[in-house]
Chain A
Amino acid sequence: MAEDLNWAVGGEAGDGIDSTGKIFAQALSRAGRHVFTSKDFASRIRGGYTAYKIRTSVDQVQSVVDRLDILVALTQRTIDENLDELHEGSAVIYDGERSWEAEIPDKMTAVDVPLKSLAEDAGGAIMRNIVALGAACEITGFDVEYLDEALEKRFGGKGSKIVENNKEAARAGQEYVQENYDLDHLGYAVETTDNDYVLLNGDEAIGMGALAAGCRFYAGYPITPATNVMEYLTGRIEDYGGHVVQAEDELSAINMALGAARAGARSMTATSGPGIDLMTETFGLIATSETPMVIVDVMRSGPSTGMPTKQEQGDLNMTLYGGHGEIPRFVIAPTTIAECFWKTVEAFNFAEQYQTPVYVVSDLAMAVTERTFEPETFDMDKVEIDRGKLVDQDEVDEWLDAQGHFRAHAVTEDGISPRAKPGTIDGAHMSTGLEHDELGRRTEEEDERVQQVDKRNRKVETAKNEEDWDYREFGDADADNLVISWGSNEGALAEALGYLEEDGIDVRVISVPYIFPRPDLTEEIEAAEQTIVVECNATGQFADVIEHDALTRVKRINKYTGVRFKADELAEQITERLSEEVPA
């Protein structure tokens, strides 16, 4: 049947849904299949519907679709929530011995497996999800040995006994289905390959990028969906002599990161919208003291606490304009998980080259989604580190004034001043959030004020000229229809092209990772007959800046339900928008 297999496990939060899904995703990845995962979860620890979905194929997959082939349902709600996506060929694995009576429409195949009893026989009820994975292997013809590898990875640290019990539980599920059901008619055959893929999500990619880039200090405060960045770095950053501090709040976190950065370390914090609100207090200080720092915003639905476990791209304006006064900054929004890695590396370089705060803006869909990549995607030999104008001991003299004071905010042509880290002899200097002179000392002199403002803004002009603010492009380069996207929508858009092509609609897609500075798309927009900007927010924040840049009106597709775009849905909406009149 379909090359593409869509599998899900669902139940109540606390049912081990996440780890079950992750184990199966890892097994598929080990089998050389591409995997794309997504999660539905509620903001609570126990109770509340939660699901982990996997789309897998031998080809690359990069979005979710509206189809479920195998569903492991631990509750009736799991079935009800996914009814639209289940079809005639779907198999639903459930435990008939449990107290709930499963209502499964006749047209799909109900596979009743005594998950709990079989798990107990294998060593503990806790392994019932593993029994279900064994059953899923049998239904799809997927070799259970790949599952063994994932179980070893997952439970290896807990001792061989646990690993063996889990393997036994998987076999029990597999054998039960083999003995009690004949499901050949479903026609699933999960092909494997010899490819070795790595499977990771956006938060992990950001953390890995930070380590590759030499980040040594991280301070943060837990918040969904950014916490995983901190969890990834904890325990790994120490291997490189670094440290993670869980601060008492976001205000503290960003100030700690600022302190480490002024001490000369590559330093980062990550949070989500509500945390950015608090950090904005210090944002201006970072910019005006010209401290190199990376701030990650993993967006979720706002405003206020909004929907903490739901997707949105609503913080663009805040990262672009947040903070009082006028603040030079860079804003980079990775468009794929791989870019979460590379753009984080780049963010550290920009921060030090231009001595500015750099926002890396990711989102929930990217943060909780795992995807397979060829390991070379993250070729560490390609990581370059540029520390900018960090002066060494021999260079300090060039930057001293007549009295021997270090000119930490020297007015230069490119807007970038020298930077001396503590310990550099004769480099001692003051930094402040107050307007200051070249030495960093408070001033209210009109000339000095203007010079410093111009100097800081000149860094942005220099960066605009020096760097390549490019974008990724796919689809038909000569098409009359242009679709522009930013952030995590790229995968769904790429797949939407297939649907559009079937309907004879040619589209050129531009996916932009740079929000500020950003590429000038005026020519591209002028060359197109119609332009649509796609984003997960209600007002079209990126569309606004595009209209501003190109001095023209664009069409918009906005989704703010809390759920990411799906490929088929996007194709439909693009078709619809193209037939509408161009806005005046």
Chain B
Amino acid sequence: MSRKPTLSRRTVLRGAGALLALPCLEQMLPGSARAAAPTPAPKRLAVFYVPNGIHMPKWLPTGTGAAWELTPTLQPLAPVKSDVLVISGLANDSGKPDGDGHHAAGTAALLSCTKAFKTEGTELRAGISMDQLIANHLAREKATRFASLELGIDAGRGIGNCDSGYACPYANNISWSGPRTPMAKEVRPQAVFDRLFGGTHPGETQAQAARRRAYGMSIIDSVREDATSLQRRLGTTDRRKLDEYFTSVRDLEQQVDALGGAGACGMPTAPGGDEDPRAKTQAMMDLIVLAFQCDLTRVVTFMLANARSNKVYGFLGLSGGHHAYSHHQHVQSNFDALARINHWEVEQYAYLVRRLKEVRDGQGVPLLDNAMVYFTSEIEDGNGHIHKNLPVLISGKGGGAIGTDRHLRAPGVPIANLYISMMRAMGVPNVTAFGADGTQELPGLGG
């Protein structure tokens, strides 16, 4: 079962922003993937979320179809233009709040297309997100050690209410494993690294690995018995909380089971960048590439900041908060500030796309070709809180599902339809409806 790491101690990540020096050689592929030679290349999904919408005049290309040009905000995508699809016009009506609370409601509905129940805590309710439906499907196939990764840059707000009566989980999570369970995200690159590679024990013998698994399983069996006996004595609401426990234990069990097995990639060097937001973002992008490259997961969601973030982008020469700028009130200086922030956001996204294009899989094909790197925000314009005409990019061809180098117009089409297409591209069978308004695949996505 255990095998010697063929590439151990190779420098992979040398501090934040270092290029990945690790070629994805055939021997790095999971054992199962190598054994059955002609398996189709794995598909991968990365979601890249930015808060507060986008200043659209500098974002939206004028031309449509293949006759499109990069706008000032999209300029960082120049090296990968041929791999980018811009979609305009998509709407997520489920993101509309009851009263105010556009950011939290829009973010809760971002990938679930389900209206979040307005509450500061009691009876938290949103919907399962499309990345988690994909992760569930891949987990059943035992595709990777981690069914999904949830990443971000910022922990939650420390105080106050998060958005006009909407609980903070709505604002801080785009990934939901069920209507009541947000998938907590990791915001420290070092911790992500430890999580991805901490389970690898280079040089471990078969007996040692077996013992470690048996010990891990004994803990899991023991706590599961505790939980089962407890569950019988609880009321409905408490049982639901305990269900989260059971689900988490099941996930842990799968990981213990996979220890020392598939996905070993040697032990790369940990990234730095836990403090500076630029270094931190780049480290997270590198980790996404690494997780894909080592086939540790195929589904990643990433939040560049939480909903309604009022982060001050001092390194862009800006002194006001992002959310404050987004309520631009049609003031030119606010437009300028927003355009700068948006440009920076696209730059980070473009870095991820570029890296995925450079890194190749075992067949020598760029990872990007079989991936979808999805960029969006919870609203269009921050001033008016519009939930239509959302900013949407998809980079990568998703193994043929996406026709790139185009600007596709889809006015008024539910974004849930795009998600149906993406889930199908990721191999989820029989998806015909999703969220509140997803009824069919998005036509024209393949070009």
- Asked if chains A and B come from one complex, the reply is no
Partner-A contacts on B (CB < 8 A):
none
